[in-house]
Amino acid sequence: MPLPRLSRFSRHKGGPDAQTRAVDDGARRPYLPPVPLALPSGGYPEWLARIARTLNTAIAGNLNCVADVSLSTGAATTVYDDRIGYWSVILPMPETATAAAALAGMWFQISSGQVIVHHPTSVATDRNLRLAILG
């Protein structure tokens, strides 16, 4: 069984149970499905290999915890994601200068499955953020 690629982004299609998502420069953001709670047909060795692969990928920094968002021109943008819960922490990283300018007046309203990002209004359409969803 091949070892996981430990780079932050890979240009390959991933392993047999990995799905990937292309980003702008052609790099692929890795995604590993959760480890099954029941033993697969291969028994303990296969189950332990899946746990090790997922753990090694997480240690390498691939946590499957980001979402890309473009802020609307209005005063709020709603982001829907199943990973968001009441105890989640949302960390924004602006990807453009106009998004960085909006950070000063930005605040978040979190509920189960969604976060409302309150921000200053602007006519700019390139206010792109990458959100880290933790918890």
Per-residue pLDDT reduced to its tens digit, 51-83: 888 888 888 888 888 999 999 999 999 999 999
What pLDDT shows up at residue 24? Answer: 54
Q: Are residues 26 and 83 in the same domain?
A: no
Domain end (from 31, 46, 63)? 63
Domain that holds residue 5: 1-63
Residues 126 and 71 in one domain: yes
Which of 41, 63, 85 terminates a domain? The answer is 63
On whether both 78 and 102 belong to a single domain, the answer is yes
Strands 66-70 and 76-80: unpaired
Same domain, 117 and 71: yes
**Model confidence pLDDT, tens digit, residues 115-126:** 999 999 999 999
State whether 79 and 126 are in the same domain. yes
Q: Are residues 42 and 58 in the same domain?
A: yes
Same domain, 20 and 73: no
Reported pTM: 0.67
Q: Are residues 43 and 103 in the same domain?
A: no
Does one domain contain both 1 and 54?
yes
Could you tell me which residue, 23 or 85, shows the higher pLDDT?
85
Q: Are residues 58 and 77 in the same domain?
A: no
Nearest partner of 70 among 123, 129, 131, judged by Cα: 129
Amino acid 32: pLDDT: 65
Burial class from Cβ neighbours inside 10 Å (0-12, 13-18, 19+) for residue 15 reads middle
Decide which of 17, 35, 63 is a domain's last residue: 63
Map the chain to HEC letters: CCCCCCCCCECCCCCCCCEEEECCCCCEEEECCCCCCCCCCCCHHHHHHHHHHHHHHHHCCCCCCEEEEECCCCCEEEEECCCCCCCCEEEEEECCHHHHHHHHHCEEEEECCEEEEECCCCCCCCCEEEEEEEC
Total of domains in the chain: 2
